[in-house]
Amino acid sequence: MNRSHRSIRTHARPMPAPATDLVGWRRRHLLRAGFDPELAAALATDRGVDLHALLQLVDRGCPPTLAARILAPLPDERG
């Protein structure tokens, strides 16, 4: 039996940059928790925001906008 060998090519998509992937992951979690898209995008890009603390507040019944205000750094903490 004569079999021809074909080369198998995979067309892998390029992986997103880790920072972009992390921001997207954070944004998706915030959106699922009920944050509006604009606020979710802003919070996702700010590495000073504790995502887990935000989500815990929302899980305990705190409205997303209030959770963001509670955890927002004070003006002199931003440097």
Question: What pTM was estimated for this model as a whole?
Answer: 0.69
The whole-number pLDDT of residue 7 equals 47
Rounded to 10 deg, the angle between the 18-32 and 37-45 helix axes is: 140
Quote the Cα angle for 9-13-16, to 5°.
150
Residue 41 has which token pair? 């995008």
pLDDT tens across 28-75, in order?
999 999 999 999 999 999 988 999 999 999 999 999 999 999 998 877
- Distances from the Cα of 23 to the Cα of 11, 50, 51, 62, 78, angstroms: 25, 13, 11, 23, 20
Task: For residue 10, report the phi and psi dihedrals to the nearest 5 degrees.
Answer: -110, 140
